[in-house]
Every structure is written in C-alpha cells, then in structure tokens.
Amino acid sequence: MPELTSGTNSAPRVSIILIRESAEQVTGSGCCGRLEGDSSLTGGARAFQRARSQQEAFGILHRAVVEFFADEQRRSELTIVTVDPRNQVYLFPKLVKDVWRYRPGWWCGLCTALQFFSLPAVIINGRVLSRRGQLLDPDALCHAIREILSAPHAQSVHGEFS
C-alpha cells in the first residue's frame, strides 16, 4: 500500500496541496445537520451539483498525479494532500511550512502564505499553480512535477507554470 507521507525526517521533493471544498463541509456546520455520504439521504450528486463537479475535476488531477508518480509517492519523494479551505487550523501552517521549506521566492511565498489565490487552488512546493480558480491541465501539472523531480535538489517550480 503506498504510504501517504514520508516516514523519514527529510522533506519530500514535491509537496502538492489541492484546496477544494470537501463534500462533508458543504452540508452544514456542526453536528445534527450532516447526512453526507449516503446518496439516498443526500440525493446523490443532485444535492450540491456545482461543488460535486469541482470535486470531480480535482479527482482527475489527483488520479493523474497518483498514477504517474506512484513510485515517487512510494519512495516518499512526493506528497499530495487535499484540504478543505475551512480547515485553516491545518492549511495555514502547512502553507507557511511549505513556503519556508521550498523558498519559492519572497513574492510567491507571500502570496501563498497569505492565501492570495482563489478557489479551487493547486499549490506545489509553496507556489500557486492554478490561476484565478481555473484548474490546471493534468499534463501541465505532471510536467511541473516532473521538472522538479528531475532537478538535482528540491526546489520550487519555475515561473512559466505559474
């Protein structure tokens, strides 16, 4: 079973953050209002169609990365995490940590840490790759990852992808 995270102390060479709303998060706040997960109770895809189509678009990106970089994931060279923007307790420190670790440049780093990006967003090694909420093409994403992996040291992606 491929592990999600590196069990070692060294940083993965590629850290991908996918920011999108989780299904459970759009069905209310707190207990007693959530029925997510049971399609007969939520009307399946009908309940939140727009969020659903966005999740499915992210699914394509996610699957592309998982399929093309399965070995890298297994070797803990690449991590991918899907976070809900409401989970700021995790998201904010994670963004700051990635910026600190991968040094994407002060302006890019500032934009990432202060969340100057619209949703949904794709962030690789502390740099925002998605533009104004438009999702990346899976090929472009995989190309950006390949470039980082082929570089001698962990780094941020080059400007042309951003």
Partner 1 sequence: MASNAVLISLCSFAVLILAYFTYGKYLARRIFRLDPDRQTPAHYKQDGVDYIPTRVPVLFGHHFASIAGLGPILGPAIAVIWGWGPAVLWVVVGCVFMGAVHDLGALTVSLRYQGRSIGDVCSDLIGHRARFLFLLIIFFLMSLAMGAFVNAISALFVKFNPDAIIPSFGLMLVAMCIGIAVYRLRIGLGPATAVGLIAFGGLIYWGVLQPLPTYAWFASEETQELLAEGRAAGESVDNGSIGAVAFLEQGGHEQAAADLTAAASTASRTWIYVLLAYGFIASVLPVWLLLQPRDYINSFQLYFALALLVAGLAVAAATGSEFNVIDAAVYRPQPEGAPPMVPFLFVTIACGAVSGFHSLVSSGTTVRQLNRETDALPIGFGAMLTEGALAILVIMACVAGLGAAAWQEGGAYATWGGIQGGGLGVQLSAVVKGGANFLSVVGISPRIGTAFLAVTVVAFAMTTLDSATRLLRFNVEEIFRSLKMEPLANRYFASLIAVAGIALFAQPKGAVLWVLFGTTNQLLAGLTLLAVSLFLFKLRRPIVYTIIPMVIMLAMTAWAMAFQLDKFRDEEQWLLFSVSVVVLAMTAWLIVEAILSFRRGRGGLSIEHDDESHDEPAEVTAATHLG
Residues within the interface to partner 1 (CB under 8 A): 1-2, 4-5, 21-38, 40-43, 46-48, 50-51, 55-56, 58-63, 66, 81-90, 111, 114-119, 121, 132-133
CB 135 to partner 1: min, Å: 12
Q: Which is nearer to partner 1, 2 or 159 (CB)?
A: 2
Q: Which is nearer to partner 1, 34 or 146 (CB)?
A: 34
CB 126 to partner 1: min, Å: 15
CB 85 to partner 1: min, Å: 6
Q: Which is nearer to partner 1, 113 or 149 (CB)?
A: 113
**CA distances (Å), origin 42, targets 30, 89, 125, 146, 156:** 17, 28, 36, 39, 41
The Cα–Cα gap between 161 and 143 comes to 9
* Pairing outcome for strands 78-83 and 127-128: unpaired
With contact defined as beta carbons under 8 Å apart, do 62 and 18 qualify? yes
The helix/strand/coil state of 130 is coil
Give one word for 91, left, alpha or beta, with left for phi > 0 and alpha for psi -120 to 50.
Answer: alpha
Buried b (16+ CB within 10 A) or exposed e, 106-130: eebbebbbebebeebbbbbbbbbbb
CB 51 to partner 1: min, Å: 6
CB 137 to partner 1: min, Å: 15
Q: Which is nearer to partner 1, 100 or 116 (CB)?
A: 116
Q: Which is nearer to partner 1, 81 or 149 (CB)?
A: 81
